[in-house]
Amino acid sequence: MMTIEPRALRDAFGSFLTGVTVVTAYDQNEQPIGFTANSFSSVSLDPPLLLVCLSNSSSNFDALTTANGFAINVLAETQIEISNTFASPVEDRFSDCEWQNGPYGGPVIEGVSAWFDCSMYNIVQAGDHVILIGKVEAFEAGTAPGLGYARGAYVTSALETEVLVGRSNFIVSALVERNGQVLLMQDKSGGLSLPERPVGKSGATEALRVLIKDCGITAAPGFVYSVFEDANDHQQHISFLCQAAEGEPSKGAFLELAAATLELIADQSLRSMLERFATESNMDNYGVYFDQSDNNDAVSG
Ligand SMILES: Cc1cc2nc3c(=O)[nH]c(=O)nc-3n(C[C@H](O)[C@H](O)[C@H](O)COP(=O)(O)O)c2cc1C
């Protein structure tokens, strides 16, 4: 029998490209609550049902499992900040976004791709999560393209199209990750940087392939993690998140993004991007969460 290693299983689950939602409701004190979730799925048309999985360790566990209903807000690709806010320990997660009550009473966020205002249909206990099944009482779908998520990175269609079609003045960098460490190189001034090279005429994907080969590693070219402008020379950068296989690189080394390592990143924009990556990795946001808590006294239906 295969030994199921939680981290490896989480990474494998994370390879499934999903959208991103914010699940909202009201707590017992009539305060709006919400958390980011990519475990959303449609379930049934008749009756109209959907589901989302909630971790047993959620600070909103009691409120959500006793609520009369909840709303699913399908985030648009411009709403990465909202996704991060509702996945972080922020006191008032609603303070930076516009929202109003849906027809059934669930908090609905402005500008989302779609929302579903649901009554609670069933709650099913499932290991370290509960499955909240909602019955759609009202919904609306807009035209804003949805935000995507895979292997711990946001994926946006507009961004990729803009970047990959006909733009050759970018510097491509590879954010190569393995077991919580990132491949870093020594730059000309003795600081640390990501492996990078200009896009060239053959395009970003080809530049990335060459870059990975030059580092002497086996890694899958992944999704765009970030597009940013160098604060000093205004050069445009595009960084791809790539998963590396086992094996030593011929250039650079895999390092953890600890504070002391981040201090050695000379480029301020690159350092900000890697700080964000370190934070988001620590949020366990690969799509599935393995809590060690044994809080399995969930309501079951
Ligand atoms: C993209 C993304 C998807 C997530 N999906 C889920 C999910 O499906 N279920 C879940 O319980 N937590 C999920 N999380 C984690 C929660 O949003 C995060 O743990 C949050 O802090 C929970 O807040 P709470 O404890 O206040 O409920 C996800 C986080 C991110 C960034």
> What token pair was written down for 25?
């409701």
231 and 164 in one domain?
Answer: yes
The domain that holds 123 is classified in CATH as 2.30.110.10
Does residue 58 contact residue 95 with C-beta atoms inside 8 Å? no
Residues 207 and 135 in one domain: no
Q: How many angstroms separate the alpha carbon of residue 252 from the centre of ligand 1?
A: 33
- Strand ranges, E, within the chain: 18-19, 21-26, 32-37, 41-44, 49-55, 69-74, 99-101, 107-109, 114-126, 129-141, 148-150, 153-155, 170-178, 181-186, 192-193, 196-198, 219-220, 224-229, 236-244, 253-256
Does the residue 172 lie in any domain? yes
Q: Do 36 and 122 belong together in one domain?
A: yes
Distance (Å, whole) CA 79 – CA 101: 19
Is the CB of residue 37 below 6 angstroms from any atom belonging to ligand 1? yes
Ligand 1 center–CA 229 separation, angstroms: 30
Domain count, the chain: 2
Beta-carbon count within 10 A of 33 CB: 21
Q: Best substitution site from 17, 41, 51, 55 to test ligand 1's pocket, by max atoms within 8 Å of Cβ?
A: 55
Does residue 139 lie in a domain region?
yes
Question: One digit per residue, pLDDT tens: the chain, 301 residues?
Answer: 899 998 889 888 988 999 999 999 999 999 999 999 999 999 999 999 999 999 999 999 999 999 999 999 999 988 999 999 999 988 899 998 999 999 999 999 999 999 999 999 999 999 999 999 999 999 999 888 899 998 788 887 766 655 655 556 788 999 999 888 999 999 888 899 999 998 877 778 888 899 999 999 998 877 788 878 777 777 888 888 898 988 999 999 999 999 999 999 988 889 989 998 888 776 544 333 333 333 333 222 2
Tokens of 245: 């296989």
- Domain contains 13: no
Residue 11 lies in a domain: no
Judge whether 248 lies within some domain: yes
CA atoms within 13 A on the CB side of 32: 21
**DSSP-based three-state secondary structure for 206:** helix
Q: Three-class SS of residue 138? A: strand
- Same domain? For 228 and 133 the reply is no
- 268 and 161 fall within a common domain: yes
Q: Rounded to whole angstroms, how far apart are CA atoms 174 and 238?
A: 9
| Residue 163: inside a domain | yes
Q: How are the residues of the chain apportioned to helix, strand and coil, as percentages rounded to the nearest 5?
A: 20, 40, 45
Domain housing 123: 21-146
- Tell me, yes or no, whether 229 and 205 share the same domain: yes
Q: Examine the domain organization and report whether 27 and 70 are in the same domain.
A: yes
Q: Are residues 39 and 133 both part of a single domain?
A: yes
| Final residue belonging to a domain, choices 146, 181, 212 | 146
Do 39 and 130 fall within a single domain? yes
The residue whose CA has the least distance to atom 26 of ligand 1 is 59
Answer whether the bond into residue 47 is a cis peptide, omega within 30°.
yes
162 and 140, same structural domain?
no
Q: Strands 153-155 and 170-178: what pairing? A: unpaired
Please indicate, yes or no, whether residues 163 and 267 belong to a single structural domain of this protein: yes
pTM of the model: 0.74
In this structure, the answer to whether residues 180 and 115 fall within a common structural domain is: no
